[in-house]
Amino acid sequence: MRLSIVMPIYNVSKWLGRCIASIRNQGLTAQDYEIIAVNDGSTDDSMDVLAAFRAEEEKAGQPIAPWIIINQENRGLSAARNAGLRAAHGTYVWFVDSDDYLEPGCLRKLLEKAEKNRLDVLCFGLQLVGENGDIIHYDIPDRTEGNVLKGEEFMLKVDMPPAAWAALYRRGYLQSNDLKFYVGLLHEDQEFTPRAYFKARRIAFDPTIAYNYVQREGSIMKSANPKKSADMLIICQRLWDFAMENTQIESSIRYLFINRISFLFSQVLSNFCRCGIKDFPGDENLLPYYPLSINKYLSKRERYKYELINSSVHLYLSLYSKFVKTDTSAQPGSKLRQR
C-alpha cells in the first residue's frame, strides 16, 4: 500500500464530510491508500457523520480504499496521530486534520514525486481558508531550486510552517528515528516538525497547493490559555535540548533552532498577557535560552523585541499588557479546539 491518511476526529461533525470527500477526490485507486480515522472521544455526532458517509460509499457499489476506525478516550491530537501511525500500513503517511480539506487531484502527483525520489519527507504548498470561505494566500519562501536535500540544508532554504499536515512522511523513516508526537501538548507540531525535517536524509519541496487550512474562531490557535504557555515552555526546552545535541556550535542551523525558540518564548509571554497574567510565573534566568540570543539572523523588529525581553521580562509583560485585551473566554476549564 502506498499511503496511509491519518485523520484524527474530535467534535468536527460540521466539517468532517467535506474533509472525507476531498480525500476521495484525488484520482487514486482503492489499492493505493487507506484512511485511518481516530475518534478521540468525540461527544458530538461526528461518528454518525462518518457512518453515513461510509454507508453512501457502500451503496454506490464502487471500489473504495479501506477504512480503519480507532476509538479511544479523549487524549488529544498527539495521541490520536500516534495511534493512527501505529495502525498504518502505507509506505507514506499524511496527517490530515478532519476540519481541513485537500485540493482536488493534488495527491497523485505528490505521491509519485515522493516515491520516484525515495524521499523521507515531501513538503508542499498550502492556503488558508476563512470561516466565510475566503481563500488567503500563504507564501512559502523556497530556495531549493527543486533539489532533494538533507534536512539541515532544507530547513535553511525553505521557510515551512511547523505543521505536521504540510508534508508526506515515509512511514519507515518516522519509525526508524522514533519520530512521534509528544502526548498532552498543545501546539505539538512545533515540537515534532523541526525534528522530523532535520533528521531527514532526503527531503524536498513541491510548490503544489495541496492543503486547505481552515481558520475558525475558538480554535486553540486563536485562543489564549495558560496551558498553552506552559506547553510552549516545554516545547522550547525540548527544542533547545535537541539543538544542543544535534547541531554544531555557531552553525547556521543551530541559530535557526535558537531563533525559533526565542520566537516561541515571546509567544509564551504574549499569551500570558492575553490571559491577564502580568508576571512570568518562575525565574526566567533559569531557562537555558534566556537571555534570548541577539544575532545576525534576526530582523530588526525581532532584535528590538528580544532586547526588550532581555532587559526585563516583567517590563515587557507590563508594556505588552497595555496593548492587548484579556481573553476571558479562554480561561482554564473552557473547551478549546484540539489543534
Kindly list the domain boundaries of the chain, sorted by start residue.
Answer: 3-214, 226-330
Nearest CA to 99 among 214, 221, 5, 222? Answer: 214
- Per-residue pLDDT at 217: 67
**How many residues does this entry show for the chain?**
339
DSSP codes joined into one string, 141-172: -B-STT--B-HHHHHHHB---S-GGGEEEEHH
| Residue 95 neighbours by CB distance under 10 Å | 25
Mean pLDDT score, 59-83: 94
Q: Sorting pLDDT into bands at 50, 70 and 90, what band is 333?
A: very low
| Alpha-carbon gap, residue 209 to 102, rounded angstroms | 9
pLDDT tens-digit map of 36-45: 999 999 999 9
Burial of 175 (0-12, 13-18, 19+ CB in 10 A): middle
- Per-residue pLDDT at 218: 54
pLDDT tens-digit map of 150-185: 999 999 999 999 999 999 999 999 999 999 999 999
| Alpha-carbon gap, residue 257 to 244, rounded angstroms | 9
Determine the Cα angle at 99 with ends 140 and 210, to 5°.
35
CATH class of the region 3-214 = alpha beta
pLDDT tens-digit map of 190-218: 999 999 999 999 999 999 999 999 987 65
* Torsion angle (degrees, nearest 10) of CA 257, 262, 263, 265: 120
